[in-house]
A = this chain, B = another copy of it.
Amino acid sequence: MKSQNLDRRKKALQLLESLESGASARVSQNIDEFHPEALEILLGFAFHDVVSRDGIDLRTREMLTVAMLAAMGTAQSQLEFHMRAALNTGVSPEELVEIVLQVSVYAGIPASMNAMTAAKAAIV
């Protein structure tokens, strides 16, 4: 792997670790056993190229991610992770409550209820 790619991988995992302590080891093991380039491609894009950009702080970005995953309703375990990541980056439990309620407006009550389940698991 070229040095720029190693750098991209490393920075992506640093961002991931800042979302939840221990996540970088767990996720990198999971993805690396799938394919050695997958982590740099997927998380390099997600965390190195996009989420670590200036312009919006990480705390607000996690609020946006929680809202998107809850509204889409197709990635419950990632939603649970980002509920925890939101708390870890400074989002308050009260703010998670408000996001869960707002999801109901744009994606319906069942999406909101599933987000509530994820939020409760994270807040405990």
Interface residues of A (CB under 8 A from B): 4, 31, 33-35, 38, 41-46, 49-51, 53, 55-56, 60-61, 63-65, 67-75, 78, 94-95, 97-114, 116, 119-120
Contact = CB atoms under 8 A, between A and B. Distances in A.
The 9 closest A-B pairs by CB, nearest first: A73-B74, A75-B110, A68-B71, A55-B98, A64-B67, A108-B108, A45-B45, A56-B98, A78-B110
Contacts of A61: 98, 102
A107 to B, nearest CB: 5
Contact of A113 (B42, B102, B114): B42
Given A50-B104, A53-B98, A105-B109, 5 more contacts: A33-B120, A42-B109, A45-B109, A50-B105, A60-B60
